[in-house]
Chains A and B, each alone.
Chain A
């Protein structure tokens, strides 16, 4: 019962943090989008240009064509908010460690966002006029990734603090001589 109440308390705290961060992030997201576009352009695949468009959209332009593929920035960015909310709500973390984890998570998520944009641009370039929404790479990075990566990053950083240790009947490996 204690475990469930602590879980409920953790989830409640995470939701509150998430709402607070989301409201603040709404004002930061255009700047973050610009940062993503600028950084992605440093590594962008040949013959494409990534431009931050409007408030929250990233456009991938292909050279020799007026056609642009769009990624909605917030569609990528919400993953970052989940990690920040989860780390902020994780019980048993000291303040300095929490800030350290937040910084690490931010950097990892930023790199994942850049990788996602670059993969999207690469697929958009090789697809030219074909539809790209069912491409496995686009599905992985731009559809499953924003949900999957934050959970993985949080697990990797904070599982020692919170996770139940998995038990199994595996034979324990022998000690190395």
Chain B
């Protein structure tokens, strides 16, 4: 073996040894990430019930979002709800001695007027409330058929199907949804009435009351109703 060849093989060996050393001291990016991924997966497994609630809630919000943007905005059902809200607001105001008239979705008196737009129907807090009630795990037992659960790609479909069946069977969810929606709508009418009164008598305070206080209060009421439902009904003994 010539000197040149010897040197070349030595250089190769040195390169290989240094490469191996580097591999030993600095594992690859994926290898470094693996324990973290495993710990996240383990955390989700430990809190699977909560994770399922979050996933189902997100899925329902997405479904409601599509329904709202495609089939409700500027369409008949929401326009009807706007008109009904305007009529109810005017009726309550007139019941307490106001002289208020309704023109489509416009509520007006000599001193003040406002239009009931889509957000004024309280439909968004209602959607969030319904999604939260439906996503909350039911105590009803359901025999898993294994039809979707055994196929990993179809498992989300299985979870959703299970949720639909359980929700249809669980009277506490229906009761919670119906009562909650009624209370939210009633609170929304109170909101409209008080805003009209504030607009008439304390106009400078209207923006604060409208945007900052009442919009926030509506979602606060939705959260409170959901908490009340979970405390009173969700853990009641199943029939």
Do A and B share a complex? yes
- Which residues of A does B touch, CB under 8 Å? 3-4, 7, 10-11, 14-15, 18-19, 22-23, 25-26, 56, 72, 74-75, 77-79, 81-82, 85-86, 133-136, 139-140, 143-144, 146-148, 150-151, 154, 162-164, 166-170, 173, 176
Contacts of A147 in B (CB 8 A): 124-125, 128, 215, 218-219, 222
Chain B residue nearest in CB terms to A72: B211
* Alpha-carbon distance between A4 and B233 when the two chains are bound, in angstroms: 12
Binding site of B, secondary structure by majority: helix, strand, loop or mixed? helix
A170, B212: Cβ atoms closer than 8 Å: no
A22, B212: Cβ atoms closer than 8 Å: yes
B73, A139: Cβ atoms closer than 8 Å: yes
A164, B230: Cβ atoms closer than 8 Å: yes
B120 to chain A, nearest CB (A): 12
B220 contact from A3, A14, A134, A148, Cβ within 8 A? A14
Q: How many residues from B make CB contacts under 8 Å with A? A: 50
A139 contact from B69, B219, B222, Cβ within 8 A? B69
B227 to chain A, nearest CB (A): 6
A135 to chain B, nearest CB (A): 7
- Which residues of B does A touch, CB under 8 Å? 42, 45-46, 48-50, 52-53, 61, 64-66, 68-70, 73-74, 119, 124-125, 127-128, 136-142, 207-208, 211-213, 215-220, 222-224, 227-228, 230-232, 234-235
Contacts of A23 in B (CB 8 A): 208
Chain A residue nearest in CB terms to B53: A166
Contacts of B69 in A (CB 8 A): 134-136, 139
A56 contact from B125, B207, B231, Cβ within 8 A? B207
* Alpha-carbon distance between A15 and B230 when the two chains are bound, in angstroms: 21
Contact A4:B228 (CB < 8 A) given known A22-B213, A166-B50: yes
A15, B220: Cβ atoms closer than 8 Å: yes
Contacts of A146 in B (CB 8 A): 215
